[in-house]
Chains A and B, each alone.
Chain A
Amino acid sequence: MNRKLLPFAKKYWMYTILAPLCIVCEVILEVNIPKIMANIVDIGISNKDLNYITRMGILMILMAILSLFFGAIAARFASIASTGFAKEVRRGLFYKIQDFSFANMDRFTTASLITRLTTDVNHAQMTFMMMIRMMIRAPMMLVMATVMAVSINARLSVIFLVALPILALSLYVIARNAYPKFGEMLKKYDRLNAVVQENLTGIRVVKAFVRGDYENEKFCDIANQVRETQIKAERIVIWNMPIMQFVMYGCMLAVAWFGGNLIISGNMQSGQLMGFISYISQILISLMMIGMIFVMFVMTRASLTRINEVLDEEIDIVEKENSITEIKDGSITFNNVSFSYTGKKRNMVLENINLSIGSGETIGIIGGTGSGKTTLVQLIPRLYDVTEGSITVGGMDVRDYSITHLRDAVAMVLQKNVLFYGTIKENLRWGNENATDEEIIEACKIAQAHDFIMSFPDGYNTMLEQGGVNVSGGQRQRLCIARALLKKPKIIILDDSTSAVDTATDSKIREALRSEDLFSRIYKNLSSEKITTIIIAQRIASVMDADRIIVMDDGRINAIDTHEELLRDNAIYREVYETQQKGVVELEGA
């Protein structure tokens, strides 16, 4: 456990302290019970003293009941503390991830984040439980038993001075050698899981190319490596047991021999020696426990590290203090903007972008795969921060706004969009929690979604599956547009968001977005301003009626102009236009 994670125990600190306290009581009782047991035999039974036996027996029963009580509530407290700790860690991680920026998200895969939140948190819980239950118990037993042993015969205790370092050293050597081996094993294990995962997602490819045997061979090979590394790692750990036994038995024999000699020479009582021996076993057992905790830590260290990686991840997009909450209008400027996902100047995705968009303008963006279209628009709502230069919205640098207000004013319909499990209405309310039914219907009408929604038997209460897989792609895209509109944004960005919508509906959506009465329809105030619209599209038809069209090429703006001008002057634009129009032109000719 480390400093980074301990604060998560704070909320349940009382239980975290009470549990070990109860364990202390339990241990005190536990250390004394053997004494009574010995007395029952040595005094009661050898003297046939039924009275003494009954008295001691009842005392012992009472102590046992007390100890049972302490033990049971300690278990309860420990469980509250450790599951509470796990809950807090899970919460901390989830909150942290919620605060991640896009750039932060890009650094982790979703699968690995999910494992960290599930399996790794589980390991942390186990470690914490072990810690509060054993970390007090074992040293406590060790100390008390040692005190008892020394008080019986200090000279004989010297044996411990020899035994303990041997034991500690061997435990250390084992742990040290085992740790890297376990790391190796876990790596192989990850690889094994990756092969399974890959085969699950790619099963059609495997079957289509008849590569079953090939994959089997690959899997057998990695499974064999897992086996070998597992044996290599655990082979070291299993030395624990014989070494413990070796030391323990060695101590006993040494004590028996030296103690025996002491007794023979009259320097010690035989009862004392018996007591001494039982304390040895308690000491050694507690050492064994410490060893176990040690091994456990080694095994879960990887999980804790992975949790810390998330917690340590620096969130790179943060709000300034006294950030501005009012976005004046939908104008946008890019001043000498360069951007790279890695933040390094070598792989710039955008270079020296200068651009000025007026409030209410409709802008189309066209360009090949990887030309930087999506990157460009993602900078506007500050999903990423620029590497160089600056971007303003409504005349102010985007970094001066409160992030929430900025993102509410700049609605973005992502290329890879997601709907969530819930009704259509619930999904739309993501745009605005307090949207009235009229507002929702209005937004859906603009996005041309109202009609198909009403065609479902449950209308707006139709349940969507996770990811919205039970509506068609075109319908999903229109729902996402309606959801974005409900934010009542000043700027709306459609990133290839109508690719699955037919051209006729596509043009209706664009028409509705440009209409004069849009603001009054969704804003309910009588402003006559228009919404700034940015449309990224593959189809020329989707952007040709925009006020201006940006042609992106290899991270730079190749041209900005109207459809007619571009068609006349821009080679790239013309080429795209021609390949797409080929059929239509022929059609007209036919």
Chain B
Amino acid sequence: MRGPNPNRKQHVAMKPENTGKTIKRILEYLRPYKLQLILVMLLVIVSSAASIAGTYFLKPLFNIYIIPLIGKQNPDLSNFLEVIGLMAVIYAVGAAAAYGYNRLMLNISAGTLYRIRTDMFRHMQSLPLKYFDTHTHGELMSRFTNDVDTLRNMLSQSFVHLFSSGITVIGVFIAMLILSPVLTVVVVGMLFLMIFVIKKLGAQSGKYFREQQLAIGKVNGYIEEMIEGQKVVKVFNHENKSKEEFDKLNEQLFEASKGAHSFSGMLRPIMGNLSYIHYSITAIVGAILAITTGLDLGSLASFLQYTRSFSQPVTQMSEQFNTILMALAGAERIFNLLDERPEIDDGTVTLVNAEFDSSGKLKEANRRTGIWAWKIPNRNKSATYTQLKGDIRFSNIVFGYEENKTVLKGITLYAKPGQKIAFVGSTGAGKTTITNLINRFYDVPEGEILYDGINIKNIKKADLRRSLSMVLQDTHLFSGTVMDNIRYGRLDATDEEVIEAAKLANADSFIRHLPEGYNTMITADGMNLSQGQRQLLAIARAAVANPPVLILDEATSSVDTRTESLIEKGMDQLMEGRTVFVIAHRLSTVRNANAIMVIENGEIIERGDHDDLIEQRGKYYQLYTGMFELS
């Protein structure tokens, strides 16, 4: 073993690339909370002011209200009490403000995250399949989890911290300038030193953080591969080897993250102590100034206090730095997802319920009639109606998932309403691709597909897909009850209709044996159903949709031959009167098709019905007699 795949995409960049634009877009999301944010800022100012007051009012409290009373008989405490009361009010206001902005920020961040999440999800739904082909699920999942999480940290904490630190720094700096411009020079010098240190440490820890991200990617990749292949590992007694390999990668991760956390952990003690050094230098310089230029002592004392409250927020800001960088990098990835181009849908033809009027003309109906029509809008707002029949024609289709890699090389075929067309051929020959073009999962660059005489590019995607029903090889069920899953085909189907469809797919009997029948929950992992049972549910789901065109892509591949012969009748009933495209591994499934296309390397090499093809003694004959590998 060589360890994990080095080609695995690393989707964890540490640094945002276009900070300005990203911040602008985050602010865009915060716009609806403009007023609340202004209120937050005001409250932050109030709370900072109150805490500053809390510290600095103490000194005058002593000098003015306590010391003069010392030694007096029956001192008049009323003024003292009044000041204490006033401070109590200030403090109460401060605490209330702190609660207020935290509470507001919670609303703002939760609300913003909600919007970002739903926008992401909605956008994801609109993306073309090509996007999902070129990005791993793990990568997309981490947009929803990791990236949103770091953004949440930033919104709920860093934002307020940064603002209040900024306010304090600016306020204190102005105060210092007023007190002593000369000493402020010392402060500025120190500030540069601090920024220098932050930059140096930041660069070091950044380097290690990047290394760490890389190491994490490797370790996680290895973990994924080994745990997914765990049963094979057991069968081959490979446990020790895989432990050895893991140790190597784990050690690398340890080295990198040790470095990364060391440097980020050092920031606070270094900055904190630099501020002490800062304090003593300022004290010495200040004392010299006091002696030589007569700087008054009160100001010096205050100035020294300010140096303390100056460096604290600087440290705090520098600590937020990493979080913010990471959050911005995450936000950028989120926005990249949101910027992906959605599926193009410029079709204008829609699918409507229709009925024939007395003169036999087709017209739109606003109820379910069982008759469907394509509504083709004309220029003058009127519309022409064509009945939906299921006539599909491919003419000279050339297609490739990637440029320069054609999968289909000039496919021409037709399916008349009610015909059953089968595709046969080895893996990668292009069978599934053909069906993926009918429902416009992918768009054809060359050639055209006509559906009841209409170019499918002119049909609205949603309506086009509603007229077709697909049963795929990998059946995906959703967490929910069995009933819900079948009803996925048509949301307004009644319970009776669902059960009817399940009976058609021969799924009814096993469903009734489930612990809660049709109300049994299907878990996301689907551990409680066999692959064959899931396929039966998928067939029932397609049956309930009741569309004029049906696409069966290896729909019964996991159903054993005995069960398959049991559902044959149901399938025949399902296919009756519909245009059906079938892809099947088992040739018994395709035998009674009106036309069988043998696809190889993106071309139709043989076509005809079963008897014709057997007579031809070509590829189909070889496949059928088991002389050729089909996989």
* A114/B287 in contact, CB under 8 A: no
Q: Which chain B residue has the least Cβ–Cβ distance from A99?
A: B239
**Residues of chain A with a CB closer than 8 A to B476's CB:** 198, 201-202, 204-205
**Residues of chain B with a CB closer than 8 A to A76's CB:** 262, 265-266
**Is B126 an interface position by the 8 A CB rule?**
yes
Q: Which chain B residue has the least Cβ–Cβ distance from A273?
A: B62
Of the listed stretches B12-20, B392-400, B412-420, B557-565, name the one at the interface; the rest are far from the partner chain. Answer: B557-565
* A75/B227 in contact, CB under 8 A: no
* A234/B113 in contact, CB under 8 A: no
**Residues of chain A with a CB closer than 8 A to B54's CB:** 249, 252
Q: A270-B66, A473-B427 are in contact. List 9 more A-B contacts (CB 8 A).
A: A40-B283, A45-B290, A74-B269, A109-B525, A118-B216, A198-B479, A200-B141, A242-B102, A249-B91
- Are A79 and B235 also in contact (CB < 8 A) when A72-B270, A504-B627, A583-B591 are? no
Question: How far is it, in angstroms, between the C-alpha of A502 and the C-alpha of B619 when the chains are bound?
Answer: 13
Q: Which of B65, B238, B281 contacts A260 (CB 8 A)?
A: B65
Q: Which chain B residue has the least Cβ–Cβ distance from A432?
A: B236
Q: Mark B106-130, 1 if CB is under 8 A from A, else 0.
A: 1100110110011001101110010
* B228/A430 in contact, CB under 8 A: no
* A53/B224 in contact, CB under 8 A: no
**Is B158 an interface position by the 8 A CB rule?**
no
**Is B58 an interface position by the 8 A CB rule?**
yes
Of the listed stretches B31-39, B69-77, B363-371, B574-582, name the one at the interface; the rest are far from the partner chain. Answer: B69-77
**Residues of chain A with a CB closer than 8 A to B494's CB:** none
* B488/A209 in contact, CB under 8 A: yes
Shortest distance in angstroms between A65's beta carbon and chain B's nearest beta carbon? 7
Question: How far is it, in angstroms, between the C-alpha of A331 and the C-alpha of B234 when the chains are bound?
Answer: 22
Of the listed stretches B22-30, B92-100, B375-383, name the one at the interface; the rest are far from the partner chain. Answer: B92-100
Give me 9 A-to-B residue pairs in the complex whose CB atoms sit less than 8 angstroms apart, sorted by A's number. A60-B276, A98-B242, A200-B141, A205-B472, A207-B441, A223-B118, A246-B92, A260-B66, A270-B62
Q: Mark B203-226, 1 if CB is under 8 A from A, else 0.
A: 000000000000010011001111
- Give the residues from 417 to 447 in chain B that come closer than 8 angstroms, CB to CB, to chain A: 426-428, 439, 441
Question: How far is it, in angstroms, between the C-alpha of A279 and the C-alpha of B408 when the chains are bound?
Answer: 79
Top-6 shortest CB links A-B: A71-B269, A202-B476, A75-B265, A503-B626, A502-B629, A79-B261
* B588/A235 in contact, CB under 8 A: no
- Are A242 and B118 also in contact (CB < 8 A) when A44-B287, A208-B470 are? no
* A381/B235 in contact, CB under 8 A: yes
**Is B84 an interface position by the 8 A CB rule?**
yes
Q: Which chain B residue has the least Cβ–Cβ distance from A201?
A: B476
**Residues of chain A with a CB closer than 8 A to B228's CB:** 110, 418, 467
Question: How far is it, in angstroms, between the C-alpha of A87 and the C-alpha of B265 when the chains are bound?
Answer: 18
Question: How far is it, in angstroms, between the C-alpha of A433 and the C-alpha of B216 when the chains are bound?
Answer: 28
Interface residues on A, range: 35 or more
- Give the residues from 229 to 276 in chain B that come closer than 8 angstroms, CB to CB, to chain A: 229-239, 241-243, 246-247, 250-251, 253-254, 257-258, 260-262, 265-266, 268-270, 272-274, 276
Shortest distance in angstroms between B568's beta carbon and chain A's nearest beta carbon? 10
* A414/B232 in contact, CB under 8 A: yes
* A421/B144 in contact, CB under 8 A: no
**Residues of chain A with a CB closer than 8 A to B281's CB:** 57, 61
Question: How far is it, in angstroms, between the C-alpha of A403 and the C-alpha of B236 when the chains are bound?
Answer: 11
- Are A202 and B265 also in contact (CB < 8 A) when A50-B287, A95-B243 are? no
The dominant DSSP class at the A interface is helix
**Residues of chain B with a CB closer than 8 A to A212's CB:** 125-126, 462
* B235/A414 in contact, CB under 8 A: yes
Q: Which of A64, A110, A208, A216 contacts B276 (CB 8 A)?
A: A64
Q: Mark B44-81, 1 if CB is under 8 A from A, else 0.
A: 00000001001000100110011101111001010011
* A227/B588 in contact, CB under 8 A: no
Of the listed stretches A146-154, A350-358, A439-447, A572-580, name the one at the interface; the rest are far from the partner chain. Answer: A572-580
**Is A226 an interface position by the 8 A CB rule?**
yes
Question: How far is it, in angstroms, between the C-alpha of A212 and the C-alpha of B77 when the chains are bound?
Answer: 73
* B121/A245 in contact, CB under 8 A: no
Shortest distance in angstroms between A41's beta carbon and chain B's nearest beta carbon? 5
**Is B361 an interface position by the 8 A CB rule?**
no
**Residues of chain A with a CB closer than 8 A to B118's CB:** 216, 219-220, 223
* B284/A57 in contact, CB under 8 A: yes
Question: How far is it, in angstroms, between the C-alpha of A205 and the C-alpha of B260 when the chains are bound?
Answer: 43
**Residues of chain A with a CB closer than 8 A to B257's CB:** 79, 83, 86
* B262/A203 in contact, CB under 8 A: no
Q: Which of B92, B253, B270, B545 contacts A87 (CB 8 A)?
A: B253
Q: Mark A245-287, 1 if CB is under 8 A from B, else 0.
A: 1100110110011001101101000100110010000000000
Size of the chain B interface, CB-CB below 8 angstroms: 158
* B237/A408 in contact, CB under 8 A: yes
**Is B288 an interface position by the 8 A CB rule?**
yes
**Is A327 an interface position by the 8 A CB rule?**
no
Question: How far is it, in angstroms, between the C-alpha of A182 and the C-alpha of B478 when the chains are bound?
Answer: 26
**Residues of chain B with a CB closer than 8 A to A500's CB:** 629-631
**Residues of chain A with a CB closer than 8 A to B153's CB:** none
**Is B401 an interface position by the 8 A CB rule?**
no
* A421/B145 in contact, CB under 8 A: no
* B98/A245 in contact, CB under 8 A: yes
- Are A369 and B530 also in contact (CB < 8 A) when A197-B141, A216-B121 are? yes
Of the listed stretches A2-10, A100-108, A386-394, A511-519, name the one at the interface; the rest are far from the partner chain. Answer: A100-108
Question: How far is it, in angstroms, between the C-alpha of A90 and the C-alpha of B564 when the chains are bound?
Answer: 46
Shortest distance in angstroms between A303's beta carbon and chain B's nearest beta carbon? 13
* B269/A210 in contact, CB under 8 A: no
* A210/B465 in contact, CB under 8 A: yes
**Is B87 an interface position by the 8 A CB rule?**
yes
**Is B570 an interface position by the 8 A CB rule?**
no
Q: Which of B70, B122, B124, B156 contacts A266 (CB 8 A)?
A: B70
Q: Which chain A residue has the least Cβ–Cβ distance from B124?
A: A199
Of the listed stretches B1-9, B161-169, B173-181, B188-196, name the one at the interface; the rest are far from the partner chain. Answer: B1-9
Question: How far is it, in angstroms, between the C-alpha of A266 and the C-alpha of B70 when the chains are bound?
Answer: 7
Question: How far is it, in angstroms, between the C-alpha of A72 and the C-alpha of B228 when the chains are bound?
Answer: 42
- Are A505 and B588 also in contact (CB < 8 A) when A82-B261, A368-B562, A576-B562 are? no
- Give the residues from 203 to 237 in chain A that come closer than 8 angstroms, CB to CB, to chain B: 203-212, 214-216, 219-220, 223-224, 226-227, 230-231, 234-235
Q: Which of A57, A72, A117, A211 contacts B266 (CB 8 A)?
A: A72
- Are A502 and B266 also in contact (CB < 8 A) when A101-B234, A114-B220, A197-B137 are? no
* A60/B562 in contact, CB under 8 A: no
* B468/A249 in contact, CB under 8 A: no
Of the listed stretches B296-304, B316-324, B448-456, name the one at the interface; the rest are far from the partner chain. Answer: B296-304
- Are A201 and B137 also in contact (CB < 8 A) when A65-B277, A206-B125 are? yes
Q: Mark B566-595, 1 if CB is under 8 A from A, else 0.
A: 000000000000000000000110010000
Q: Which chain A residue has the least Cβ–Cβ distance from B561?
A: A579
Q: Mark A440-483, 1 if CB is under 8 A from B, else 0.
A: 00000000000000000000000001110000111100000001
**Residues of chain A with a CB closer than 8 A to B145's CB:** 193
* B561/A37 in contact, CB under 8 A: no
**Is A67 an interface position by the 8 A CB rule?**
yes
Q: Which of A45, A61, A224, A261 contacts B280 (CB 8 A)?
A: A61
Shortest distance in angstroms between B198's beta carbon and chain A's nearest beta carbon? 14
**Residues of chain A with a CB closer than 8 A to B465's CB:** 207-210
Shortest distance in angstroms between B464's beta carbon and chain A's nearest beta carbon? 9
* A223/B117 in contact, CB under 8 A: yes
* B4/A57 in contact, CB under 8 A: no
**Is B607 an interface position by the 8 A CB rule?**
no
Shortest distance in angstroms between A144's beta carbon and chain B's nearest beta carbon? 17
* A68/B280 in contact, CB under 8 A: no
**Is B335 an interface position by the 8 A CB rule?**
no
Question: How far is it, in angstroms, between the C-alpha of A211 and the C-alpha of B189 when the chains are bound?
Answer: 62
For B226, B276, B530, which residue has the most chain A Cβ atoms within 10 angstroms? B276
**Is B625 an interface position by the 8 A CB rule?**
yes
Question: How far is it, in angstroms, between the C-alpha of A60 and the C-alpha of B284 when the chains are bound?
Answer: 11
